[in-house]
Structure 1
Amino acid sequence: MICYVITVLIFQQGASMKRPFIQSSVLLTGLSLSWFALAQQAHSDSTSHDHDHGALHAHVHGEATLDVVFEGNMLLASLEAPAADIVGFEHLAKDPESQANVHNAEAQLKLAETLWALPSAAACELKEVSVSHQLLATTDHGHDKDHDHDHDHDHKHDNHNHNAHKHDADHKHDHDHDHDQSQHSDIQVEYNFFCEHPEHLQTVSIQLFESFPSLHNLSVQMITPQGQKGLTLSPTQPRLTFNE
């Protein structure tokens, strides 16, 4: 069987194509490629209703999504949750306390062993984990772009009187305040596990609900050697089963 070294980038089908499923340099066989193609189709089918309404998925506090592909020795997963359920807010973290909350949440999400109760017999090792969001100024590219626009705008209108500038400043402040209060923000986490003995990976307990108690619903899409399936996890039913 021919092997290919590729960069996997699977997108959930949507209007803006902004949400990557997994992005990681991995060694895949031709068979693996077919599984990831199925995963992409699964997302396309499961989100077709939302696509008709112009959205990738509904942003509902207390509800998160988990996409999983298990094939060969690889267990790949992508988690997306409202920032409000992870850090307690969805606006840009401007003060030190809010920024510390974001950094603490990042560290907690990267501790995969506290969120994924993988059977020790499977000998799974976390190879890669990444956390992405727009809660910090350094990652909020849209905010930086708005700042550059306002800077150029001010230089082009040096002849405006002081009252006009005050009005613009007040308007911008009100607009930013409204934006901070009304915006929705998600946190995405991507995990890449390598399991030495995948035959022992039959069930996994997701401990996300214990770490982030405001979450009460986890919508899961899975691709495994047994096929495709969707299910919903909750604090009373947090287990994934791979051999069904």
Structure 2
Amino acid sequence: MRRLLLALPFALLPLTSPVTANEHEHKDHHHEHDHAEHGSLDAHEHGAAQLNVVLDGKALELQLDSPAMNLVGFEHAAKSDADKAKVSAARSELEKPHALFGLTTGDCALTKKSLESPLFSASAPAEKHDHDHDHKKAHDGEHSDIEAHYMLECQQPDDLKQLDLAELFKRFPSTEKIQVQLIGPNGQQGLELTPAQPTLSF
């Protein structure tokens, strides 16, 4: 249920709004799940990641979907101590959205966070369905992604003019580009961020 919560607002735009889509989230779970499976595999490209951003009033929602290769340097299940350390380090970095997305204005507080990947299954299994699914994917040798989803509440959203992903590119240097879909006060926009151009404006 937590996977790709932002898929519906973007998929159904302009037919609905993020609020309406979230109200139908449970009903459309199977559609969401299929979209997540097929969409992430089709879009899987080393060096590239996807970021969905929604700013609606005080609510800021961020979802980063990246091949594990970009963040930890491999996609197989971590067995060696060195690989486990890399997974742990990446997970630790992903726990800090304020630093990764340059959230220095807007007075935004993190209210919910979810980090999901087959590589995380051993140390922090998700609910049984997700764990079994991720475990199978890892053993089938399919591409492994890492999904990070954040919900924040911004007390001064008008002060939130941009996101700066310079720190994300610095901490995960194998990430060469990030395709962004943004829904904000000025409507929807899509753009590509790179280490040379790491900022986006609301």
TM band (smaller chain):
0.7 to 0.9
For the structure 1 residues 90 and 145, does the alpha-carbon distance in structure 2 shift closer, same or farther, using more than 3 Å as the test? closer
In 1: Cα distance, 2:136 partner to 2:171 partner: 35
Percent identity of equivalent pairs: 36
**What's the offset of the Cα at 1:143?**
7.5
Q: Deviations over 1:7-32 (max 9, x none)?
A: xx68xxxxxxxx4235xxxxxxxxxx
- Report the TM-score, using the length of structure 2 for normalisation: 0.74
Out of 190, 210, 226, which is 2:149 matched to? 190
Q: Which residue of the partner structure matches residue 11 of structure 2?
A: none
**Would you say how many aligned residue pairs link Structure 1 and Structure 2?**
170
For the structure 1 residues 223 and 36, does the alpha-carbon distance in structure 2 shift closer, same or farther, using more than 3 Å as the test? farther
For the structure 1 residues 143 and 106, does the alpha-carbon distance in structure 2 shift closer, same or farther, using more than 3 Å as the test? closer
Q: Does 1:211 align with 2:171?
A: yes
SS of the residue aligned with 1:235? Answer: coil
**What's the offset of the Cα at 1:190?**
0.5
In 1: Cα distance, 2:104 partner to 2:135 partner: 44
In 1: Cα distance, 2:97 partner to 2:144 partner: 22
Q: Does 1:20 align with 2:11?
A: no
**What's the offset of the Cα at 1:113?**
2.3
**What's the offset of the Cα at 1:101?**
1.4
- Report the TM-score, using the length of structure 1 for normalisation: 0.62
Alpha-carbon RMSD across the aligned residues, in angstroms, is: 2.8
**What's the offset of the Cα at 1:34?**
3.0
**What's the offset of the Cα at 1:63?**
0.2
Contact 2:117 2:134 in 1 (8 A): no
Kindly name which structure, 1 or 2, has the bigger radius of gyration based on alpha carbons: 1
In 2: Cα distance, 1:211 partner to 1:60 partner: 19
Contact 1:82 1:186 in 2 (8 A): yes
**What's the offset of the Cα at 1:37?**
4.3
Out of 105, 125, 140, which is 2:109 matched to? 125
Q: Does 1:66 align with 2:51?
A: yes
SS of the residue aligned with 1:91? Answer: coil
Q: Does 1:141 align with 2:124?
A: no
Contact 1:92 1:137 in 2 (8 A): no
